[in-house]
Amino acid sequence: SAVISQKPSRDICQRGTSLTIQCQVDSQVTMMFWYRQQPGQSLTLIATANQGSEATYESGFVIDKFPISRPNLTFSTLTVSNMSPEDSSIYLCSASFDRGYTFGSGTRLTVV
Amino acid sequence: AQKVTQAQTEISVVEKEDVTLDCVYETRDTTYYLFWYKQPPSGELVFLIRRNSFDEQNEISGRYSWNFQKSTSSFNFTITASQVVDSAVYFCALSVNSGNTPLVFGKGTRLSVIA
């Protein structure tokens, strides 16, 4: 099955700063998905990233806060901008393959 | 719109007991896919199974088994002879038009297996 390398695995950031999370897939995929998992909660979809077009954001998430890039079929980034403690979560990227959906190992973000 | 309900927030069992995790889904699509994922304390999501809506055959994989019933829109997961290593959060998820749409997750069930 395909593998997604996600980094950083964790970070502690100061409020007001930005963090960019990267996901590299070992094969080409059309769609990638970004999720947020707040402490003790389920996964919430942030946006869908299709190569060659702007990402589609879910209600409650905006591009200014969570800009996404998708420069090619194997790579995507999510930036968490102007961070506040409420952004402390695990962020995961995902892509779909024949047998299902593969996930990156997650980025555990703590904002202080 | 799709929805997945996992009514059990937390379950605690003693090692070697059997445990069933419930999952009920809602969708108007006739073609859909159901998934179970395991999330251990380390945080990564581990894929367990995918079923499509046309395959109601139950599946067994070692100590794991899944019961898919379209009549009740349920896709339940049973762990037989539970072990401490089974302690994790388990998510049931649903997608339609597999691959082009994101997964919709249930809220998850936290399973604690006590030695």
Q: Which of B21, B23, B45 to mutate to test the interface with A (most CBs of A within 10 A)?
A: B45
Query: pLDDT, tens digit, for every residue of B31-45?
Result: 999 999 999 998 899
- DSSP per-residue letters across A59-81: TT--TTTS-EEEEETTEEEEEE-
In 3D space, the residue among B92, B103, B101 whose CA is nearest the CA of residue B24 turns out to be B92
Question: Is B63 in the A-facing interface, judged by CB distances under 8 Å?
Answer: no
CB contact under 8 A, B44 and A103: yes
Distance (Å, whole) CA A75 – CA B32: 27
B59-73 average pLDDT score: 93
pLDDT at position B59 is 87
Q: Is the pLDDT of residue B4 over 70?
A: yes
The conformation of residue B58, written as its DSSP 8-state character, comes to -
Q: In chain A, which among 34-63 make CB contacts under 8 A with chain B?
A: 41-43, 45, 48
Query: pLDDT, tens digit, for every residue of A30-82?
Result: 889 999 999 999 999 999 998 888 899 999 999 999 999 999 999 999 999 99
3-state secondary structure of A18: coil
pLDDT at position A45 is 96
Residues of chain B with pLDDT > 70, as a percent, come to 98
Mean pLDDT estimate for chain A? 94
Q: Strand pairing of B19-21 and B74-79?
A: antiparallel
pLDDT band at B99 (very low <50, low <70, confident <90, very high): low
Which residues does chain A have within 8 Å of residue B47's beta carbon, measured at their own beta carbons?
A: 1, 99-102
Q: Is the pLDDT of residue A24 over 90?
A: yes
Query: pLDDT, tens digit, for every residue of A88-100?
Result: 999 999 998 777 8
pLDDT at position B55 is 86
Distance (Å, whole) CA A19 – CA B56: 44
A46 contacts A37 by C-beta, under 8 angstroms: no
pLDDT band at B97 (very low <50, low <70, confident <90, very high): confident
Question: Is B16 in the A-facing interface, judged by CB distances under 8 Å?
Answer: no
- Residue of chain A whose Cα is closest to the Cα of B33: A100
Length of chain B: 115
- DSSP per-residue letters across A28-71: --SEEEEEEE-TT--EEEEEEEETTS--EEPTT--TTTS-EEEE
Query: pLDDT, tens digit, for every residue of B42-59?
Result: 889 999 999 999 888 888
pLDDT at position B100 is 78
Residue A16's φ and ψ, nearest 5 degrees, are 90, -10
The span from the first CA to the last CA of chain B, in angstroms, equals 41
pLDDT at position B98 is 63
A9-37 average pLDDT score: 96
Distance (Å, whole) CA B41 – CA B113: 13
